[in-house]
Structure 1
Amino acid sequence: MVLTSLAEVERAIRAAWSPDTCDPVDLPDWSPANPARGQCGVTALVLRELVGGELLLGPVLRRDGTRQGVHYWNRLDGGIEVDLTREQFSADEIVQEPVVVDPPPGAPARLREQYLLLRGRVHHALGIAETSAS
């Protein structure tokens, strides 16, 4: 299947989010009102697999300067940044400048189950034959 648009991929990814695809660290803050919470790592990896580009990683700081965590998103070929999970953060959580990081070969060691579940749901929604992510 040929993907017709980034919007199609975005709809499939957003529809696939659930507590089961959330980073366990963020699970206490996940809710249907904030379904993007804890989805950034697996979302960025699935999006990169489907549309290419670079994987970005930036620290997230609270307004008082303490570290909240990290945030992943994508930079497509041509320099356009796509961040499908930015809305997960409160006004007190500020994403800092990113660095480009190498994606793991195959499925990530951390969040493997969440990644495989999200990837499978997105592939199914888009009509993509499932291939091994190892």
Structure 2
Amino acid sequence: MPPTYTLADVERAIRESWCDETRPPECRADWDASNPARDQCGVTALVVNDLLGGDLILGEVHIDGAHVDYHWWNRFGLLDVDLTREQFAPHEVVVGREVRKRPPNNELRRCVDEYLLLRRLVLARLGITDEPAVESETSSTVGAG
């Protein structure tokens, strides 16, 4: 029988698993333990999608009306679940929301190793040992944010 867990279990496991190594390499110099959600959105959205399904949502981060980055989160029917929502400073605004199709793992282009590490850490915290093989070969832009 597959393990069961709640959204709260998944969120706790993800938050306990975030670390500098699960962030995009170009962001690691800016690691701030007081804001562990920073730059974790892409890998987090993928892990939530692995565990719970749903849709991947993409928005843009704007500062003073200018696009500076992307932000990823999950949607389940009418419910948006954004486990990295607190990463943003007051002057950073997420605009838009577009449903994006989940690329196969072997087509991910960014943050593949970071995603695989977060996935492995989260599954271990949830006590899931029977995981399907995930390829580390890469090609979509889900990752940073």
- Common fold, TM-score beyond 0.5? yes
Q: 1:16 is aligned with what amino acid? A: S
CA distance in 1, matches of 2:29, 2:118: 19
Moved more, 124-133 or 112-121: 124-133
Aligned partner of 1:105 in structure 2 is 104
Aligned partner of 1:43 in structure 2 is 44
Structure 2 gap segments, 5+ residues each? 136-145
Aligned partner of 1:23 in structure 2 is 24
The correspondence of residues 79-90 of structure 1 with structure 2, limited to 5 A, is 79-90=78-89
Structure 1 pair 109–26 and aligned structure 2 pair: CA distance change class (3 A): same
The correspondence of residues 63-102 of structure 1 with structure 2, limited to 5 A, is 64-76=64-76, 78-102=77-101
Q: How far has the Cα of 1:97 moved from its partner?
A: 1.6
CA distance in 2, matches of 1:44, 1:116: 12
Specify the SS of the correspondent of 2:96: coil
Q: How far has the Cα of 1:27 moved from its partner?
A: 2.6
Q: How far has the Cα of 1:33 moved from its partner?
A: 0.1
CA distance in 2, matches of 1:26, 1:100: 25
Identity of paired residues, percent?
48
Tell whether the 8 Å contact from 1:21 to 1:118 is kept in structure 2 after alignment. yes
CA distance in 1, matches of 2:19, 2:45: 15
The correspondence of residues 115-130 of structure 1 with structure 2, limited to 5 A, is 115-129=115-129, 130=131
RMSD after superposition = 1.3
CA distance in 1, matches of 2:88, 2:30: 10
Q: 1:41 is aligned with what amino acid? A: G
- Runs (4 or more) in structure 1 with deviation over 4 Å come to none
Once the two structures are superposed, what CA deviation does each residue of 1:38-97 show, in whole Å capped at 9, x if it has no partner?
A: 1000000000110110000001100x2122200000001x31100000100100100002
CA distance in 1, matches of 2:27, 2:82: 18
